[in-house]
Amino acid sequence: MPPLADEEMTGAESLLRTLVAAGVDTCFANPGTSEMQFVAALDRVTGMRPVPCLFEGVATGAADGYVRMSGRPAATLLHLGPGLANGLSNLHNARRALSPIVNVVGEHALSHRQFDPPLTSDIEGFARPVSAFVRTAQDVGELGRDAAQAVAAARSTPGVATLIVPADVGWSKGGKVAAPMHAVPPRGVDPARIAAAASALKSAKRPALLMSGRALLRAPLELAGRIAAATGARLYCDFLAPRLERGAGLVPVRRLSYFGEQVLEELKGTDLLVLIEADPPVAFFAYPGKPSELVPPGTLALQLARRTDDGVSVLAALADLVGSGGEVPRQALARPELPKGALTPSSAGAVITALLPENCIVVDESVTAGLALVPMLQGAAPHDWLAQTGGSLGLGLPMSAGASLACPGRKTICLTGDGSAMYTVQALWTLARERLDVVTLVFSNRAYAILNYELQRLGAPAGPAAAGLLGLARPELRFTDLARGMGVEASRVETAEAFASELRSALATPGPRVIELALG
């Protein structure tokens, strides 16, 4: 245990030691001058691993991946308002994933800010839309406590906590390490409500569970499988789920579709939809004349556990109440033949499904290709699947870095579109820098392809201006070059056979690797 108070300790050091004491061991960092006292303190504090990132959106997305796979909060270190601003998009995704992240953001010294130097901005204003906790530290003696409260807030919500630290608060002596503080656990649900839901499930003709959040890990899925066996309930998960354990041998859940009319079709005939750590399904976007709410008119939607409630204990209680009966559904292994010829989302999906190693982590930002590809992986070897949660592109590559850091013994496979990869392409450098065991598959369709669908759905013809804005073919992006430029070995494939061969080689070799799939 480090000393709890030391007249010689800087505020920065007290903050780092407090984070470590609270179980935060990794800090994704892109510091500047106003954070140099934290950089210096890292050399005096053991137990905190700094991970350099060349762009702040990499830091925040990696923190989210680390949190999702470790189950513990992660920290970021960001430079003033603009540094935080660069990380906001992935903090939006983290907020939607309920991922506990503690941002440490430098600020001008309290004595300096009044002069409005160029980098001055409203940092609290930037932080508020994504943060459940925002505080600007005022006193070096309180900074440890501020940090402990930030961690507790991040764990309690769970969500994003932003602690803004003026440079002089960080560099002054008189820091005090604070002990970890109590985090509010997820709220339990009234047993009477659970009992009523159990009765409703048993009497429903065609019930279903829609789950998200913590309910999608292996153990709660077993509980859901028992409920399905006893009641005939079908099991669904959100289109965007923070983490799903799936694959052969696990209890399978069907992911709701992206497009609203497909969701309505999927849920058609369901008389009771019990929501566990999930909200009633809504359309991702609105379209003229199409519905926003995706609960069919004849379906009763019952939100038994809200997203922040303890859905796992709800499932356990439900499973006991509905009793046993029938067989728990299990996903069969479905290893497709290795396809030959044209490289399409489907043939690529068959290759990945066939070769996916057991216990790997699949990070998914494959967008258009994913519509065909992701359902196929259901029958692959068991794996963790991490999805987009807030819909803001640029999460995939950074999240892979964070997930891999959290699980050093496991292979991570990142599925990304070409358009989506470009938002935070700097993550490749961090993969190389930390020698992370991540295979990145870039599905190159040379367009923001999903937007061509969306334009059609709006009923608008795609003229030359629209085509110009949605196309990525002029010039073509070469991810092999981009990867090599950041120190990552890379190759490009144009057939299913070549892809199978490259993927096999990448899976057999530790370390970062990029495969660009030139889709036909």
Residues 374-403 that bind a copy of itself (CB under 8 A): 388-392, 394
The least distance separating a copy of itself from the CB of residue 472, rounded to whole angstroms, comes to: 8
Nearer of residues 129 and 325 to a copy of itself, judged by Cβ: 129
Nearer of residues 366 and 388 to a copy of itself, judged by Cβ: 388
CB 176 within 8 A of CB 148: no
Range 90-119, binding a copy of itself (CB under 8 A): 92-93, 96, 108-109, 111-112, 115-119
The least distance separating a copy of itself from the CB of residue 199, rounded to whole angstroms, comes to: 29
Nearer of residues 284 and 382 to a copy of itself, judged by Cβ: 284
Q: Which stretch binds a copy of itself (CB under 8 A): 182-190, 249-257, 401-409, 454-462?
A: 454-462
138 counts as binding a copy of itself under rule CB under 8 A: no
Choosing from 6, 72, 121, 494, the residue that interacts with a copy of itself (CB under 8 A) is 121
Nearer of residues 158 and 252 to a copy of itself, judged by Cβ: 158
Range 292-311, binding a copy of itself (CB under 8 A): 292-293
> β-strands 300-305, 272-276: how paired?
parallel
71 counts as binding a copy of itself under rule CB under 8 A: no
50 counts as binding a copy of itself under rule CB under 8 A: yes
The least distance separating a copy of itself from the CB of residue 515, rounded to whole angstroms, comes to: 15
Nearer of residues 86 and 344 to a copy of itself, judged by Cβ: 86
- Per DSSP, the three-state class of 457 is helix
The counts of H helices and E strands in the chain are 21, 18
Q: Can you name the residues that pair with 28 across neighbouring β-strands?
A: 51, 76
Range 235-294, binding a copy of itself (CB under 8 A): 240, 279, 282-286, 288, 292-293
125 counts as binding a copy of itself under rule CB under 8 A: yes
Range 398-437, binding a copy of itself (CB under 8 A): 419, 422-423, 425-426, 429, 432-433
- Residue 251 CA to residue 221 CA, distance in Å, equals 6
Give residue for tokens 């009234």: 190
Choosing from 200, 470, 498, 507, the residue that interacts with a copy of itself (CB under 8 A) is 470
Nearer of residues 297 and 461 to a copy of itself, judged by Cβ: 461
Cβ-based neighbour number of residue 171 at 10 Å: 20
Kindly calculate the radius of gyration of the chain based on its CA atoms and give it in whole angstroms.
Answer: 24
210 counts as binding a copy of itself under rule CB under 8 A: no
Under the phi-then-psi rule, with left for phi > 0, alpha for psi from -120 to 50, and beta for the rest, what region is 17? alpha
Q: Which stretch binds a copy of itself (CB under 8 A): 39-47, 221-229, 316-324, 498-506?
A: 39-47
Query: Please, where are the H alpha helices in 5-79?
Result: 11-21, 36-42, 56-70
480 closest CA partner among 440, 449, 448, 520? 440
CB 343 within 8 A of CB 494: yes
2 counts as binding a copy of itself under rule CB under 8 A: no
Evaluate the omega torsion of the peptide bond into residue 158 and state whether it is cis, within 30 degrees of 0: yes
Nearer of residues 313 and 480 to a copy of itself, judged by Cβ: 480
| Strand extents, DSSP E, 156-289 | 160-166, 207-211, 234-237, 244-246, 254-255, 272-276
371 counts as binding a copy of itself under rule CB under 8 A: no
> β-strands 244-246, 383-387: how paired?
antiparallel
Choosing from 476, 505, 509, 510, the residue that interacts with a copy of itself (CB under 8 A) is 476
| CB neighbour class for 476 (10 Å; exposed up to 12, middle 13-18, buried from 19) | exposed
143 counts as binding a copy of itself under rule CB under 8 A: no
CB 330 within 8 A of CB 391: no
Q: How many residues bind a copy of itself (CB under 8 A)?
A: 100
475 counts as binding a copy of itself under rule CB under 8 A: yes
SS3 of the chain: helix, strand, coil, percent, to 5: 45, 20, 35
The least distance separating a copy of itself from the CB of residue 447, rounded to whole angstroms, comes to: 11
Query: DSSP assignment, residue 400?
Result: H
Nearer of residues 86 and 136 to a copy of itself, judged by Cβ: 86
